Chains A and B, each alone.
Chain A
């Protein structure tokens, strides 16, 4: 038994605690924060190589045997997500150094980001449903701090709503855990996967499964529970928004993915049918929002919702193509969403506004930025060979192989709408009559453009080199489709 699975959780925690000791020394804050995230990235890479050679890594805290103690389980899916979330955080940190402002840096911005990482990595790694609740609370607490960080008026107003929605969903989470415990008598995910098929009362378990869908749906922003997202995500500065857009909803998606493949499989005809319908409605609602606004932030925020729908549709099919597609798309979406938010962040810096109608003609003065944006936009919509394509292809294939061919048709049709929504930004901002721009220092521009461009380049690598990544994705998919692999790894330890 190796403790490697705990490192991506513990390292950011320690660094965050250290960072809180000297909040006023900005240059030290930056160095230590980047060192912390880099160390986490290195440990995640080690964990990744360990998992890909030796299979699932399970750690039981305090060496209590598996169903009694808390298990931390790192399978291929969770390690892929830990790796990509750490990578995204690193680039967002590089972006936030020049943009976030010294005042925020001096008031515990970096510790909050690292605490957020602790929660996110923990939620991806845990193998216990109550521990998942605790890690989600850790990341929510950090996100409360980040969303209100700086204390501007819109931030204060929106964070009240964000806080309230999350408190209600947390209370529902505790209630759902209580019901699950009273029916099954265990909270360890592997043990649940053993016990649930033995229980004959399928009706009550279906109710619990739907309750969990509601709980995780609040976090993941599925239809009709996404109402809080556009307003809340609009308020904080762009670096924080990129972090939220790339990581927070993905935790909810991961939780649905895990619970709906590992143990809530007793009544697939109802629960997964429901999931498929909700996923399609989520995509449609997101598309309406993405096309309705002239605000670049809003357009990308609604694209988060669309991606959540696409990923969940793949999961609801429960076949190899659908699940593998969802995993690939999840990793792709983390990277591309962060990249797009950072790109529109640069746009708002250059134009001094996020209103599309006040932008125009940027391609002459910033050609490289323009083409980078276009590549990211094509990647989001899934134009081959960019990274959105392989995932979406597999998800659509999964839908055709399953019973929901209509869902695949909707995904194909809405891909065009997604493309339209982001290309609209390109057309308005880069073509046409040059609009008034804020003159920014070349050095400052490069310091925010370079990390963004590298992130876009990474998504291109992920798409063009999909053949290289596919073995890992199918490894991850295999564990999801055969719960016995997961159960054996945890309980036989």
Chain B
């Protein structure tokens, strides 16, 4: 299972890098979304996917059966953060498009005196 997850994470990172290298701002934002999804899945996989019992101490369940609760807590935090950052990025992109009249990164380079 870990192998399958690793391949999926690799594919997500690959797609993210491809999208982030494009010129259109909206594709870049989707790329950052995929990148953080990949990182979150990696966090989950690295904690180990074994463990079937919920991480609550109960009779008759040995320690090795519990699912590791820490990566789940970490992912929850990371998802909330990346959600907030992505929504900020979308608003920023929209505002920048309104003000600057383009979403093409080639035209957003900025020169020495910035005009």
- A residues bordering B, Cβ < 8 Å? 130, 133-134, 137, 141, 144, 148, 151, 153-154, 156-161, 163-164, 167-168, 170-172, 174-175, 177-179, 181-182, 187, 231, 234-235
> Are B39 and A134 in contact, with the CB atoms below 8 A?
no
A–B complex contacts, Cβ < 8 Å, 5 sampled: A156-B95, A160-B25, A171-B35, A171-B82, A187-B70
> Are A154 and B110 in contact, with the CB atoms below 8 A?
yes
> Are B95 and A174 in contact, with the CB atoms below 8 A?
no
Within 8 A of A (CB), among B76-115: 77-78, 81-82, 84-85, 88-89, 92-93, 95-96, 99-100, 108, 110, 114-115
List the B side residues contacting A153 at CB < 8 Å: 99-100
> Are A163 and B81 in contact, with the CB atoms below 8 A?
no
Q: How far is the CA of A251 from the CA of B115 in the complex (A)?
A: 32
> Are B40 and A174 in contact, with the CB atoms below 8 A?
yes
> Are A167 and B47 in contact, with the CB atoms below 8 A?
no
Given A157-B110, A164-B32, A167-B36, A175 and B70 contact (CB-CB distance below 8 Å) = no
B46 lies within 8 A of chain A by Cβ: yes
Q: How far is the CA of A61 from the CA of B39 in the complex (A)?
A: 27
B28 lies within 8 A of chain A by Cβ: yes
> Are A177 and B43 in contact, with the CB atoms below 8 A?
yes
> Are B92 and A134 in contact, with the CB atoms below 8 A?
no
B74 lies within 8 A of chain A by Cβ: yes
B71 is contacted by which of A137, A181, A231 (Cβ under 8 Å)?
A181
Q: How far is the CA of A181 from the CA of B114 in the complex (A)?
A: 44
A164 is contacted by which of B28, B39, B110, B114 (Cβ under 8 Å)?
B28
Given A134-B77, A151-B99, A157-B108, A167 and B32 contact (CB-CB distance below 8 Å) = yes
How far is the CB of B100 from the nearest CB of chain A, in Å?
6
List the B side residues contacting A134 at CB < 8 Å: 77, 81
How far is the CB of B114 from the nearest CB of chain A, in Å?
5
B47 is contacted by which of A141, A160, A181, A234 (Cβ under 8 Å)?
A181
> Are A182 and B88 in contact, with the CB atoms below 8 A?
no
Q: How far is the CA of A241 from the CA of B86 in the complex (A)?
A: 24
List the B side residues contacting A151 at CB < 8 Å: 95, 99
> Are A156 and B78 in contact, with the CB atoms below 8 A?
no
> Are B92 and A156 in contact, with the CB atoms below 8 A?
yes
How far is the CB of B13 from the nearest CB of chain A, in Å?
9
How far is the CB of A139 from the nearest CB of chain B, in Å?
12
> Are B36 and A171 in contact, with the CB atoms below 8 A?
yes
- B residues bordering A, Cβ < 8 Å? 20, 25, 28, 32, 35-36, 38-40, 42-43, 45-48, 70-71, 74, 77-78, 81-82, 84-85, 88-89, 92-93, 95-96, 99-100, 108, 110, 114-115
**Which 4 pairs, one residue from A and one from B, show the smallest C-beta to C-beta distance?**
A182-B46, A178-B46, A174-B39, A178-B43
Interface of A (DSSP majority class): helix
List the A side residues contacting B20 at CB < 8 Å: 164, 168
> Are B43 and A157 in contact, with the CB atoms below 8 A?
no
Q: How far is the CA of A170 from the CA of B83 in the complex (A)?
A: 13
List the B side residues contacting A235 at CB < 8 Å: 114
Q: How far is the CA of A141 from the CA of B82 in the complex (A)?
A: 11
B92 is contacted by which of A130, A154, A160, A178 (Cβ under 8 Å)?
A160
Q: How far is the CA of A179 from the CA of B25 in the complex (A)?
A: 30
Most buried by A among B28, B48, B114: B114
List the B side residues contacting A172 at CB < 8 Å: 39
How far is the CB of A61 from the nearest CB of chain B, in Å?
13
Known contacts A141-B85, A151-B99, A174-B39, then 8 further A-B pairs from the complex at CB < 8 Å, ordered by chain A residue: A153-B99, A156-B95, A156-B96, A156-B100, A161-B108, A167-B85, A167-B89, A170-B36
> Are A167 and B39 in contact, with the CB atoms below 8 A?
no
Closest to A148 in B: B92
Given A168-B32, A171-B36, A181-B71, A163 and B100 contact (CB-CB distance below 8 Å) = no
Closest to A294 in B: B112
How far is the CB of A179 from the nearest CB of chain B, in Å?
6
How far is the CB of A236 from the nearest CB of chain B, in Å?
12
Q: How far is the CA of A231 from the CA of B110 in the complex (A)?
A: 8
How far is the CB of B105 from the nearest CB of chain A, in Å?
8
Closest to A144 in B: B88
> Are B96 and A160 in contact, with the CB atoms below 8 A?
yes
> Are B35 and A167 in contact, with the CB atoms below 8 A?
yes
Most buried by B among A153, A156, A160: A160
> Are A178 and B110 in contact, with the CB atoms below 8 A?
no
> Are A170 and B85 in contact, with the CB atoms below 8 A?
yes
How far is the CB of B47 from the nearest CB of chain A, in Å?
6
How far is the CB of B31 from the nearest CB of chain A, in Å?
9
Q: How far is the CA of A266 from the CA of B82 in the complex (A)?
A: 32
List the B side residues contacting A170 at CB < 8 Å: 36, 81-82, 85
Q: How far is the CA of A137 from the CA of B48 in the complex (A)?
A: 26
How far is the CB of B57 from the nearest CB of chain A, in Å?
14
B88 is contacted by which of A133, A156, A163, A234 (Cβ under 8 Å)?
A163
Given A130-B74, A144-B88, A171 and B39 contact (CB-CB distance below 8 Å) = yes
List the B side residues contacting A133 at CB < 8 Å: 78
Q: How far is the CA of A70 from the CA of B78 in the complex (A)?
A: 16
> Are A158 and B110 in contact, with the CB atoms below 8 A?
yes
> Are B74 and A177 in contact, with the CB atoms below 8 A?
yes
Q: How far is the CA of A181 from the CA of B75 in the complex (A)?
A: 13
How far is the CB of B26 from the nearest CB of chain A, in Å?
12
Given A174-B36, A174-B42, A156 and B110 contact (CB-CB distance below 8 Å) = no
Q: How far is the CA of A160 from the CA of B20 in the complex (A)?
A: 13
Given A148-B92, A167-B85, A160 and B110 contact (CB-CB distance below 8 Å) = no
